[in-house]
Amino acid sequence: MVIELTVLDLALAALLILALAGVSLRLGLGIGQRLVVSAARTTIQLLLIGLVLKLLFDNVHFLWVAAMAAVMITAAGREVMARQKRRFVGWWGFGLGTLSMFVSSFTVSVLALLVVIGNTPWYTPQYAIPLLGMVLGNTMNGIALGLDRLTHEASTRRAVLEARLALGQDWDETIADTRREAIRVGMIPIINAMAAAGIVSLPGMMTGQILAGTPPVEAVKYQILVMFLIAGGTGFGTVVAVSLGARRLFDERQRLRLDRLHTSAD
């Protein structure tokens, strides 16, 4: 049903990357090398995950699926941290995003697998891993955006926040505007994606299923499910991460503690 791709097919597509790198060199964009390295990473990482998934599908066991999920969530937590210009010092830098993703993406995915899809066993990796991957990828974006906005605003508007504290406002009232804005920023991409889905963009999962021969309406139903899961995961994940982060900006005496952030090199 699926037309198999040969190495030659992929090599032809890779010519596009090389051509683009050539243009970059010609125009002095200075991103040619990064482009080629990224393309190489994509190839290697995806080939590896293909092998891992093949192994996983051949040996369905809860522990293997759980281990895979743990690796994915750890990688996502690292990615959230790497994207922060100002990150929390110590374990909070890694833990904040990771915990929030665990709370939201994990819960949402497990809920969907158990209640909505209802496969036996519920952790069937063909469903569990892609589902978690999609929810996780988007939640990661939302959390990274939200946290970045929160710490950026707190740093640049420090004087205002401290003036409010000096007037006797408590931390919650002081940070409320900033927190609201940060949560909004984290949630807007998925809201926009839902609004544009089908009209401007054909979501990747649905497209993939259609390419694989699934009837379009079935593929669309799955896509709607996934969209809602992603929205739920991103929304709740961002709320949790930004709320915890906002609390962490203040200490037990309700002082603004920007020394709990450090600015990354770039």
* Interface with other proteins (CB under 8 A): 159-160, 162-170, 177, 251, 253-257
DSSP per-residue codes, 210-241 = HHTT--HHHHHHHHHHHHHHHHHHHHHHHHHH
In the complex, the smallest distance separating the C-beta of residue 162 from other proteins, rounded to whole angstroms, is: 6
Shorter beta-carbon distance to other proteins: residue 120 or 156: 156
Tokens of 173: 């009232």
CB-nearer residue toward other proteins: 83 or 157 = 157
Which residues are bridge partners to 201 per DSSP? 197
Contact in structure between 109 and 229 (CB atoms under 8 Å): yes
The least distance separating other proteins from the CB of residue 36, rounded to whole angstroms, comes to: 48
For 41-89, what is the HEC assignment?
HHHHHHHHHHHHHHHHHHCCCHHHHHHHHHHHHHHHHHHHHHCCCEEEC
Toward other proteins, which CB reaches closer, 80 or 256? 256
N-term to C-term CA, the chain? 47
Nearer to other proteins, 168 or 213 (CB): 168
CB 169, min distance to other proteins, A: 6
What radius of gyration do the chain's Cα atoms show?
A: 21
**Contacts with 36 (C-beta within 8 Å, 6 or more apart), sequence order:** 17, 18, 21
Question: Looking at beta carbons only, is 170 or 218 nearer to other proteins?
Answer: 170
Tokens 């941290």 belong to: 81
Query: In angstroms, rounded to a whole number, what is the distance separating the alpha carbons of residues 142 and 129?
Result: 20
Provide, rounded to whole angstroms, the least separation between the CB of residue 176 and other proteins: 10
73/62 Cα distance (integer angstroms): 16
Closest approach of other proteins to the CB of residue 163, in Å: 4
Nearer to other proteins, 92 or 127 (CB): 92
CB of 184 to other proteins, least distance (A): 17
